[in-house]
Structure 1
Amino acid sequence: MAPPIEAFPASELTERINTLPNGRRRKGGDINLSKCELLELVQYSCHLKGSPQSRQSIIQCEPVVKLFRRCTGGLMVETTKLEGEG
């Protein structure tokens, strides 16, 4: 099981990615997310409509778009809320 992750507002994302878990600043200066490559990932949220035993039941899926920024040094950060999509 993954360790619990602290929730924080999207407005704090830039500050959080520039601070390491031990509280020190990240080496190499501040990371500016607006200069990182923007990537999009589409996942699907699917739900069964009807009874699992019925042959007339259907599975209905809706797209869920997630946005990421890939920065130099291999850092990748989900920015969906920050980009205004979610």
Structure 2
Amino acid sequence: MAPPEHPFPVSELDQRVRSHSVNYKEKSRKLPQDFDLKRDCELMELVQYSCTTVKQQYERALASETGSTRMECFPIVRLFRKCVQGGKVFHVETTAWEGQHAWKPPANPQPTLQSEAKPPEGESSENVLTTYWSSLWPKK
């Protein structure tokens, strides 16, 4: 089993790559000052699939007019960077940092209340990833 990882904001990825956990202790990586994750590490892609469960198929069959129980699978693309520094190889997942659904810093750094925030014209207020994930694992 993989050791537990602590979540952190995607904006901190550049700083967090400079350390790692060994036996639940934080250790620093000896990286050059000018180390750049995008420039110095090879981009790799992993595609995983999430498929509907038997229970979800049954529920969809009851709800549909045709009674179809077809299994559906959805691709989940994950991006990684393979880095080689000092003869050691390490991998960093960068899915939320780059690619199609990359996090972008807010254009307006001023804090706003949720009720005042309006989505850009033509976009839904619901997060695209939230919609995607909820379609895979609907609430019970």
TM-score, with normalisation over the residues of structure 1? 0.77
Distance verdict in 2 for CA 1:23–1:41, change over 3 Å: closer
Which SS does the other structure have where 1:67 is aligned? strand
**What amino acid does structure 2 have at the position aligned with 1:71?**
C
**1:27 Cα deviation after fit:** 1.6
- Determine which structure has greater relative contact order: mean sequence separation of CA pairs < 8 Å that are 6+ residues apart, divided by chain length: 1
Listed as ranges, the matches of 1:6-85 within 5 Å are 6-21=6-21, 22=25, 25-30=28-33, 31-35=35-39, 36-48=41-53, 49-51=56-58, 56-72=68-84, 73-85=88-100
**What amino acid does structure 2 have at the position aligned with 1:58?**
R
Aligned residue pairs total: 85
1:54-86: CA deviation from partner (whole Å, max 9, x where unpaired): 8x5221001100000001121101000010433
Distance verdict in 2 for CA 1:83–1:51, change over 3 Å: same
Bigger strand share: 1
Which SS does the other structure have where 2:28 is aligned? coil
Pair member with larger Rg: 2
Tell whether the 8 Å contact from 2:79 to 2:99 is kept in structure 1 after alignment.
no
Structure 2 stretches lacking a partner, 5+ long: 62-67, 102-140
Structure 1 stretches lacking a partner, 5+ long: none
Tell whether the 8 Å contact from 2:45 to 2:80 is kept in structure 1 after alignment.
yes
Measured in 1, the distance between the counterparts of 2:4 and 2:28 equals: 22
4+ residue runs over 6 A deviation: none
